[in-house]
Amino acid sequence: MKQVHDYGYKDLFSHPQILQELLLSCVNEPWVQYLDFSRACTIDKSFITPAKKKLESDLIWRIPLTTGVEIYLYILMEFQSTVDHFMALRILRYILEFYASLLKQEPTLKTLPPVFPILLYNGEARWTAPEQLAELIDNRIHLDFIPQFRYFKIAENEFERHQLLALKNLIGALFLVETTTPDELAGVFKQLGTLLEQEQPEVYRAFLSWLNTFFSKPVPDWVTEQLDTKEAPTMLATTLNKWKQELVQQGVQQGLQQGLQQGLQQGIFKGKLEGKLEGKLETAKKLKEKGLSLQEIAEVTGLSIEEVQKL
């Protein structure tokens, strides 16, 4: 599925649990198992120019190892569909700028901390750019004098569907949504409930918020049907607004018909009132069917608990 803008990726990967899932699912390096994600924190700094912000986004994490040493993760999220042949040079430049900022803050540093560079790519085209900087440089001189640098590539379109389903986590769900065609997505989405069962509520909400932006409004009905509304306040609000708009509109139309006999303005006013009440009752019925408590339904619709009980 083609993406050209940042659909909230930076917010998603600002959650330690999502970062942990990304590394454990995609980065097969021995030091990953020693990262203390409970003490991970983001660095409030970006090296992306304003002109590039719609095509890419970056995020820096500082994470201590259980041994006490700290490392940094630099994640560059690439949203453009074309492949940048000189990506290795770009990422190296960002990391060098990061090192320069560290030295400015701590001039007495004698050793720079390690930075693990990750490219997260969600475009349609196959990623073909060299991952090694040396491959971009003519090698007529000895390799000892050529900068040695490599970034770690995570290309969503290189995963098979069965691999993503086997992950059984949010990363698998995220990559599935991104790489599945619209015609196939409704069927695949039925399997996402299993992938998200173990997610923490705040992470689940972040994913649903991203889905709202990904699909734009209105969110497809089959999305709301597959996800638990108790854990999805953002998506629930979108669904409720849609229901209310439809029901209020029905009430207005009824009022207009009655207004032919009693006067146009009176009919519109009555239609709005009836529409609002009918909308609340219909919304309450739907929420009751979905298993929400009487208290929750009353808070959402503005009805009394007694009115909800009668439905």
Q: What is the mean pLDDT of residues 215-243?
A: 53
pLDDT higher than threshold 60 for residue 226: no
Task: Quote helix, strand, coil % in the chain, to nearest 5.
Answer: 55, 10, 30
C-beta of residue 122 within 8 angstroms of C-beta of residue 174? no
Q: Could you state, in order of their start, the residue ranges of all structural domains in the chain?
A: 9-233, 237-304
Q: Between β-strands 70-78 and 115-121, what pairing exists: parallel, antiparallel or unpaired?
A: parallel
pTM surpassing 0.75?
A: no
302 confidence band (pLDDT: 50, 70, 90)? confident
Report the pLDDT value the prediction gives residue 97, as an integer from 0 to 100.
Answer: 94
Peptide bond into 218 cis (omega under 30): yes
Q: What is the mean pLDDT of residues 174-186?
A: 79
Percent of the chain with pLDDT over 90: 35
Other residues' Cβ atoms within 10 Å of the Cβ of residue 68: 7
Structural tokens at position 164: 């993503």
Per DSSP (E only), the strands in the chain are 41-43, 56-64, 70-78, 115-121, 152-155
3 confidence band (pLDDT: 50, 70, 90)? very low
pLDDT higher than threshold 70 for residue 229: no
Higher pLDDT, 223 or 271: 223
* pLDDT tens profile 88-132: 999 999 999 999 999 999 999 999 999 999 999 988 899 999 999
Report the pLDDT value the prediction gives residue 216, as an integer from 0 to 100.
Answer: 62
Q: What is the mean pLDDT of residues 189-205?
A: 69
Query: What is the DSSP track for 88-123?
Result: HHHHHHHHHHHHHHHHHH-TT-SSPPPEEEEEEE--
pLDDT higher than threshold 50 for residue 206: yes
